[in-house]
Amino acid sequence: MSTKKHGSSDIAEGLYEGKTVAMRGAVLTDEEIASQLYRYEHTAPLLPSLADFHDEQLKLYKRQGYVAVERLLSGETVRSATEALMNLIFEDAKEARIQYTKPKSELHNKEEQELAVRKVHDYVPSDETLTRIAYDPELIAKLRLILGDEPVLAQNMALLKPPHGGGEKPWHQDMAYGPLAYDKPVVGVWIALDEAALDNGCMHVIPRSHMDGGVPHYAVRDWQICDTNVRVEHDVAVPLPPGGALFFHGMLHHGTPPNGSDKRRRALQFHYAGQSSRKVRPDEYKRIYTNEMTDAEC
């Protein structure tokens, strides 16, 4: 695992209204992040498939803030979604936007290029398979049940965590990010394309944390919940096979540790809002998700 320090020199993007700010706070190595900020003893149970999601699972989702499914996508769909994603990176990005962790001038071949991709934004319209996954009628029907409203795709993003040091995504709530700051909860659907395991940066969640509502986020290693405000002792890891998926509430505290293994960890992520939801006003956003009104320190 990389011994690179993360903290004061890192830059985060994606803050409310796209502002970019310098990070501050404690400087931690990947090993320290993986061992101090995450736990690995408890793992989430998996429903065999989406067809097994009924009223009881809806209650569980509402109580725990998440439900995980072993097989949302078939092996063939996973292969063709992965190929589609790689084509957007290597051949033609079309409408998608690709975010690299290094300047393009430092990427000399396809392997270096792929391993430097952190995110692919807005890929859904660019490929038929990816469009089909996002608007699958069975998926939309379950989301309608969860939202109690007509689901609208609010965001689509693929997240790639390369082997040997793919970075942590610190603990956060998705609705603390401007594009998802709606007045009613959004639902995240995170789908593993590679096996997402304990050693390559699978999702981790704090069950029931969505019940706390919005909490302040701080610019530390990213736009995140203060490390000391995360109830890490309640951490449940969500390892998934390729094609497995995590459905989670937009206020759920979640994060992913660094990838210290020699395996890729690529995932698709969709967020759906109810069609009657509205974006929160900037003053409301500040009150809920920042320390601007309270001055609380991290």
Ligand X SMILES: O=C(O)CCC(=O)C(=O)O
Q: Which residues, in sequence order, are CB contacts of 216 under 8 Å at separation 6+?
A: 225, 226, 289, 290, 291, 294, 296, 298
CB of 142 or CB of 169, closer to ligand X? 169
Work out whether 30 is an interface residue with ligand X (CB under 6 A): no
Contact between 142 and ligand X by CB under 6 A: the answer reads: no
253 near ligand X, rule: CB under 6 A:
no
Orientation angle between helical segments 55-64 and 137-147, nearest 10 degrees:
60
**DSSP per residue, 150-174:** -EEEEEEEEEEE-TTTBPPEEEE-G
What ranges in the chain are assigned the alpha helix state H? Answer: 30-36, 55-64, 75-90, 110-115, 128-134, 137-147, 282-289
Residue 224 within binding range of ligand X, rule CB under 6 A: no
**Residues within window 178-217 making contact with ligand X, judged by CB under 6 A:** 201
Q: Which of 6, 71, 142, 169 binds ligand X (CB under 6 A)?
A: 169
252 vs 280, which CB is nearer to ligand X? 252
100 to 129: interface string for ligand X, x by CB under 6 A: ------------------------------
Q: Toward ligand X, which CB reaches closer, 59 or 231?
A: 231
Instruction: State the nearest-atom distance from the C-beta of 281 to ligand X, in Å.
Output: 23
Residue 254 is a binding residue for ligand X (CB under 6 A): yes
In the bound state with ligand X, the residue whose beta carbon lies nearer, of 71 and 217, is 217
Specify the residue, 71 or 204, whose C-beta has the smaller distance to ligand X: 204
Contact of 100 with 167, CB cutoff 8 Å: no
DSSP bridge partners of 29: 5
- Cβ neighbors of 54 (< 8 A, separation 6 or more) are none
Contacts with ligand X by CB under 6 A lie at 159, 161, 169, 174, 201, 254, 256, 267, 269
